[in-house]
Structure 1
């Protein structure tokens, strides 16, 4: 009897710990050194000093990770303008989000972002 109660308690505890995250768990303004990510059910944007991006919504969530596609647009540097397809992926851990932006040839990230952190985005050199 005691063994059954222990097993039942372990099962209930395991189910409580395996909480599934949805897109709304990622919603908010995320900031890090020189970068901002804004995610909501109506808009998703990425900002850094030389790149701005629009992210397709809804974002696709798998556990505490998300994947999304979108576009990146260059924001300066001798008046040059460039737009390209991009991928955005993140891993959520509490109020910290690790963000990777592709293609990797651009050298964007990985970024360590924090929920509700207000940041200044410097202009593109």
Structure 2
């Protein structure tokens, strides 16, 4: 499957693998599907709880980008989880502000993540 790899900066032919390879120390993740870029070693998880079990969650992030995405989730998840705002509404507002359909898995760079974080802070 061709997936955008943030580490390589282009679409790559990713290889489907599982948690035994990606998280060898985590037996609980052994059977979960992942897409891996063999050129740089980065990987992305899949929508394993859906009918499209091997559909990638988004583009393949770098380790730094994963951390940046986690910071964004730590900021925005409490907003919708508390009921302060509906998740879809929050994502719609962020999309309007950013000028593209927002989803954390679509963020391709740390710079983009910083822009999203700054926009999200207005709702926290």
> TM class, shorter-chain normalised?
under 0.3
TM-score by length of 1: 0.27
Larger radius of gyration: 1
Structure with more of its chain in strand, by fraction: 1
The answer to which structure has the higher helix fraction is 2
Q: Which has the higher contact order (CA 8 A, sep 6+)?
A: 1
